[in-house]
Chain A
Amino acid sequence: MNCDEFVELVTAFLDDALDPATEARFVEHLALCEGCERYLGQFRTTIAELGKLPPETLSAETRDAVLGAFRDWHSA
């Protein structure tokens, strides 16, 4: 496997979605190529950083409005 093929398969690899033959070639390349090992590590870091974004929260007004609508709907 070449590096330019490896970099396109990273997400499929992380999702365990590669067929066994391709996965074997992927892992074989990973074991030998420092650049791709680093690329995979940086992809993992990227995913981890995305997961650390703070939640966007619903404003108190909207939350109250929706809860109020729920009560009204059921009391009507």
Chain B
Amino acid sequence: MTVTFLPCCRGYIRLVTTLPPDEELVAALRRGDDAAFAAVLDAWSASMLRLARSFVSTHASAEEVVQETWLAVLKGVGLFEGRSAFKTWVYRILVNTAKKRGTAERRSVPWTSLLPQDEDHGPTVDPARFQGADGAYPGHWRESPAPWASPEDTALSLEIRRVITTVLDELPARQRAVLSLRDVGDHTAAEVCAMLQISAANQRVLLHRARAVVRERLAEYLATGART
């Protein structure tokens, strides 16, 4: 099942597309069923674009990665053996294609694996926010996080979208990839581990870190009253 958000007059509506089971879907693609191919293309491409954007620097480049992936899928679907979910298989092709493209684009930022790196460890909240050993309650908040204004406010929600898009662009590729799949897309932890070929623990480290960065940035916009 794929969940897509489509713009409509007020906010977004959730569109749920149910594709046939893998076996049927793959058989349809192998016999050249246009409609089946269009359905899967439309169901997965938005999520694939976001994932591709983790590895390459522009939307145009991500679009080329998605295109290249679909071409590889149509040529290679005969080789799909059903050892993973078909979607996982497609996303792995995407990740490999995107990584290659990303490496070519920015050779100055080499990275070879999706495993957490040094920057993915350490506290996700500034240790200065907590009391030190000499405080009354060591390890507890000095001051609680400031409450937030409701993001339901329309003007604010546009601002939030801008903030989130900006932060996504700044995250390390690994964190962005996991966050895009889990929270922006609607994939489960298990799916993400299979697609990116990382362990559950690594997946969680990357996701938690990325979420903490986004929360911190949202706090700058949503925190009400005196900054605490």
- Structural contact, B41 and A2, CB atoms closer than 8 A: no
Those of A13-67 within 8 Å (CB) of chain B: 15, 17, 33-36, 38-39, 42-43, 45-47, 49-59, 62-63, 65-67
Q: Nearest chain A CB to B179's CB is how many angstroms away? A: 7
A53–B138 Cα gap in the complex (Å)? Answer: 38
By beta carbon, the residue of chain B nearest A73 is B74
Known contacts: A3-B139, A3-B141, A8-B124. The answer to whether A56 contacts B53 by CB under 8 A is yes
Give the contacting residue for A69; candidates B12, B47, B71, B140; CB below 8 A: B71
- Structural contact, A51 and B148, CB atoms closer than 8 A: no
Q: Nearest chain A CB to B43's CB is how many angstroms away? A: 11
In the complex, which residues of chain A have a beta carbon less than 8 angstroms from the beta carbon of B218?
42, 45-46, 49
Map CB proximity to A onto B135-146 as digits: 1 under 8 Å, 0 otherwise: 001111101110
- Structural contact, A33 and B140, CB atoms closer than 8 A: yes
In the complex, which residues of chain A have a beta carbon less than 8 angstroms from the beta carbon of B127?
4
- A-contacting 9-mer, from B93-101, B103-111, B160-168: B160-168
In the complex, which residues of chain B have a beta carbon less than 8 angstroms from the beta carbon of A74?
31-32
- A-contacting 9-mer, from B3-11, B17-25, B84-92, B112-120: B3-11
Known contacts: A17-B204, A46-B218. The answer to whether A4 contacts B125 by CB under 8 A is yes
Give the contacting residue for B139; candidates A5, A10, A50; CB below 8 A: A5
Q: Nearest chain B CB to A73's CB is how many angstroms away? A: 5
In the complex, which residues of chain B have a beta carbon less than 8 angstroms from the beta carbon of A35?
140-141, 143-145
- Structural contact, B45 and A11, CB atoms closer than 8 A: no
Give the contacting residue for A67; candidates B5, B38, B200; CB below 8 A: B38
Interface size on A, as a range, is 35 or more
Interface size on B, as a range, is 35 or more
Q: Residue B214 at the A interface, CB < 8 A?
A: yes
A8–B124 Cα gap in the complex (Å)? Answer: 7
Q: Residue B83 at the A interface, CB < 8 A?
A: no
A75–B50 Cα gap in the complex (Å)? Answer: 31
- Structural contact, B34 and A67, CB atoms closer than 8 A: yes
Known contacts: A52-B12, A69-B74. The answer to whether A43 contacts B211 by CB under 8 A is yes
A57–B6 Cα gap in the complex (Å)? Answer: 10
- Structural contact, A4 and B214, CB atoms closer than 8 A: no
In the complex, which residues of chain B have a beta carbon less than 8 angstroms from the beta carbon of A63?
41-42, 45
A21–B167 Cα gap in the complex (Å)? Answer: 35
A10–B144 Cα gap in the complex (Å)? Answer: 16
Give the contacting residue for B164; candidates A2, A43, A49, A73; CB below 8 A: A49
A residues whose Cβ falls under 8 Å from a Cβ of B:
2-5, 7-8, 10-12, 15, 17, 33-36, 38-39, 42-43, 45-47, 49-59, 62-63, 65-67, 69-71, 73-75
* 19 new A-B contacts at CB < 8 Å, known A8-B125, A38-B145: A2-B140, A3-B140, A4-B127, A4-B130, A7-B123, A17-B189, A45-B218, A47-B183, A49-B218, A52-B12, A53-B5, A53-B165, A55-B4, A56-B50, A57-B45, A58-B45, A58-B46, A62-B67, A74-B31
